[in-house]
């Protein structure tokens, strides 16, 4: 059974998603993935101006006339959510944890896909793949996704994004959309990301909290490594600590952006203090305009 606060959060997601649908589902979400949901329809005779890459040379050789493949857009998309459940997301400086922000974003996108008649699935991961929900349609399936987002208690604490991306490639039998929701605090996932992005349209949603890069400089703090479990008392106002914090976040930003760029993956950054619905609307509408 869901606790009362979890029910409240799910209802808040439903409310936000209605607004998201009003602003986005008029075309922004689907048109931002234009060209992804296509399937072979039939052959027709080549005419000047056709893309020669669509010529079917084998069939043309048999019929002795140049034939091109005709494609049509599929009526439904396949959307797979890959959601980080590692311990580093159990952090928040104000009213919301990063894990709650990730759940909100994933929940909104699951609802949006379901309301537009698309198949939706989800992978929850930490240092291992912890839960795989197959691609399905319908409100009952979306309700199950939401329950897992709020009920799931991860067995692992660390992060292995590479394993989750490899699993996504196995789950997605046909070309579709993979949306990765994570803080991307991990290493050596870039090869898996490029491999996945070669076949699917991959979007990275980076969840963060501004306190991570801007701690108060007064007093002493007991810092806990959520994934490693170690603790240390630090002086956040010291030059050494501020230098280390700056270097860490600059390195992290450079590494993640390099991985996204290498895989031609578009991204959107969402802070725990920001309205995720507004950011998603702006991102997908801008993406749709670029693809027209």
The residue ranking higher by pLDDT, 137 or 9, is: 137
Least confident of 58-72, 180-194, 198-212: 58-72
The residue ranking higher by pLDDT, 182 or 234, is: 182
Position 231 pLDDT exceeds 50: yes
Q: In the chain, which residues fall in CATH 3.40.50.410? A: 4-31+75-208+262-290
Position 263 pLDDT exceeds 60: yes
- What is the full DSSP assignment across 58-105? HHHHHHTS-EEEEEEE-S--EEEEEEE-SGGGS--SSS--HHHHHHHH
Query: Residue 70: which pLDDT band, with cuts at 50, 70 and 90?
Result: low
Position 1 pLDDT exceeds 70: no
- Nearest partner of 181 among 216, 212, 213, 208, judged by Cα: 208
Position 176 pLDDT exceeds 70: yes
The CATH superfamily of 4-31+75-208+262-290 is: von Willebrand factor, type A domain (3.40.50.410)
Query: Residue 200: which pLDDT band, with cuts at 50, 70 and 90?
Result: very high
Position 37 pLDDT exceeds 50: no
The residue ranking higher by pLDDT, 29 or 42, is: 42
Q: Across residues 96-122, what is the average pLDDT? A: 88
Per-residue pLDDT at 36: 47
The residue ranking higher by pLDDT, 40 or 95, is: 95
Q: Across residues 130-139, what is the average pLDDT? A: 93
Share of the chain above pLDDT 70, in %: 79
Per-residue pLDDT at 253: 92
- Nearest partner of 79 among 140, 184, 168, 148, judged by Cα: 168
What is the average pLDDT value for the chain, to the nearest integer? 83
Per-residue pLDDT at 27: 52
Distance CA 61, CA 43 (A): 13
Q: Across residues 133-139, what is the average pLDDT? A: 92
């Amino acid at each position: 059974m869901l606790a009362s606060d979890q029910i409240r959060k799910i209802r808040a997601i439903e409310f936000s998603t209605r607004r998201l649908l009003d602003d986005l589902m008029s075309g922004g979400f689907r048109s931002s993935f234009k060209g992804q949901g296509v399937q072979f329809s039939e052959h027709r005779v080549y005419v000047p101006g056709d893309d020669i890459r669509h010529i079917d040379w084998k069939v043309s050789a048999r019929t002795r006339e140049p034939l091109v493949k005709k494609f049509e857009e599929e009526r439904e998309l396949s959307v797979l959510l890959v959601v980080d459940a590692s311990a580093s997301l159990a952090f928040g400086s104000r009213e919301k944890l990063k894990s709650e922000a990730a759940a909100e974003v994933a929940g909104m996108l699951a609802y949006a896909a379901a309301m537009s008649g698309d198949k939706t699935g989800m992978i929850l991961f930490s240092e291992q793949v912890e839960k795989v929900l197959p691609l399905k349609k319908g409100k009952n399936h979306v309700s199950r996704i939401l329950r897992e987002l709020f009920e799931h208690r991860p067995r692992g604490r660390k992060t292995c994004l590479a394993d989750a991306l490899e699993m996504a490639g196995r789950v997605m039998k046909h070309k579709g959309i993979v949306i990765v929701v994570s803080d991307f605090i991990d290493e050596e996932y870039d090869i898996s990301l490029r491999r996945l992005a070669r076949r699917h349209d991959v979007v990275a949603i980076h969840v963060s909290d501004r306190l991570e890069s801007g701690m108060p400089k007064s007093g002493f703090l007991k810092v806990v490594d959520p994934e490693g479990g170690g603790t240390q008392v630090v002086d956040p106002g010291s030059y050494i600590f501020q230098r280390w914090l700056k270097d860490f976040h600059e390195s992290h930003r450079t590494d993640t952006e390099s991985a996204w760029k290498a895989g031609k993956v578009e991204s959107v950054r969402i802070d725990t203090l920001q309205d995720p619905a507004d950011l998603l609307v702006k991102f997908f509408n801008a993406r749709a305009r670029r693809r027209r």
